């Protein structure tokens, strides 16, 4: 006689989550609360032209590759993430709220990790790009979608991804604190997400406060691609002005 035991779990692959299920899971009614992104100055002035070149190339090549895959888009997103990550050095960045950072050495704060395996209470699987701090804590997850109409699906997946990454980071930090007797105040309490098709960029924030998980989602950001598509000097000058404005905020 064979006895089979089936154990149901709320955890499933990130790709299986849809927006309605995510809202039901986290008790979200209506639209996500709006997230207003902050700004950080570009430290290395070579970064902006490099970003514009990448996006300009993407805007040119996409129409002539109508059957380009999500992987093609992902390559451009990877280049953009790496350019931005390299611009953030611990000696010239003040802090990242909710995370412990080294500030006495000139080192790259953010490390981009493609296809990192993330496991949480509700989701599991590889994420397109994890954004890790130099101390190993995942502070962000990027979900890449090729089609414009896949953004909604991407938001659902990314919400579960960043909640899972936050759960994983908090568990690891708590275990470390319990072992060495250090303060639990350093346990991360937020994680950020990005959903993009390389043209539109949405930013998410997941926080864990007083036992509750909360999400916020930004509007779509597209101005950088629009500037990249303008190959004129005026377009470059306008992009530079916007960069200077961000420095004065």
CB 161 within 8 A of CB 118: yes
Measured distance CA(146)–CA(59) in Å, rounded: 13
Residue 113 domain-assigned (yes or no): yes
Pairing status of strand 201-209 against strand 190-196: antiparallel
Determine the pLDDT at residue 246: 38
Question: Tokens standing for 57?
Answer: 């190339």
Residue 10 domain-assigned (yes or no): no
Question: What is the span of the domain harbouring residue 149?
Answer: 42-238
Residue 202 domain-assigned (yes or no): yes
Residue 19 domain-assigned (yes or no): no
Residue 9 domain-assigned (yes or no): no
Mean pLDDT of 188-193: 91
Q: List the alpha helices (DSSP H) in 133-209.
A: 151-180
Question: What's the pTM?
Answer: 0.78
Residue 32 domain-assigned (yes or no): no
Does the structure show a pLDDT above 80 at 73? yes
DSSP state of 92: T
Residue 210 domain-assigned (yes or no): yes
DSSP letters for 187-204: S--EEEEEEE-SSSEEEE
For the chain, what is the mean pLDDT?
78
Residue 247 domain-assigned (yes or no): no
Number of domains in the chain: 1
Q: Is 126 helix (H, G, I), strand (E, B) or coil?
A: strand
Closest CA to 77 of 202, 229, 230, 196: 196
207-239 pLDDT, tens digit each:
988 889 999 999 998 866 665 556 444 444 444
Closest CA to 13 of 113, 167, 122: 122
Determine the pLDDT at residue 94: 46
Residue with tokens 């950088």: 224
């Amino acid at each position: 006689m064979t006895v089979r035991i089936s154990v149901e779990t709320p955890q499933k692959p990130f790709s299986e989550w849809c927006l309605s299920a995510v809202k039901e899971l986290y008790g979200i009614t209506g639209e996500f609360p709006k997230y207003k992104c902050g700004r950080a100055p570009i430290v290395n002035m070579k970064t902006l032209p490099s970003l514009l070149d990448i996006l300009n190339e993407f805007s040119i090549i996409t129409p002539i590759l109508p059957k380009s895959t999500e992987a093609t888009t992902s390559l451009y997103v990877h280049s953009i993430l790496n350019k931005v990550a390299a611009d953030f050095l611990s000696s010239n960045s003040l802090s990242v709220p909710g995370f412990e950072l080294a500030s006495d050495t000139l080192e790259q704060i953010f490390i981009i990790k493609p296809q990192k395996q993330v496991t949480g209470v509700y989701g599991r699987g590889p994420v397109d790009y994890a954004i890790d701090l130099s101390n190993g804590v995942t502070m962000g997850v990027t979900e890449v979608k090729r089609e414009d109409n896949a953004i909604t699906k991407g938001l659902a997946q990314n919400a579960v991804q960043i909640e899972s990454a936050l759960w994983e980071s908090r568990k690891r930090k708590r275990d470390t604190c319990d072992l060495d007797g250090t303060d639990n105040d350093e346990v991360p309490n937020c994680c950020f997400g990005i959903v993009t098709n390389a043209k539109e960029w949405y930013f998410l924030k997941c926080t864990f406060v007083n036992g509750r998980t909360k999400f916020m989602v930004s509007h779509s950001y597209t101005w950088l691609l629009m500037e990249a598509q303008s190959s004129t000097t005026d377009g470059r000058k306008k992009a530079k002005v916007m960069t200077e404005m961000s420095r004065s905020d």
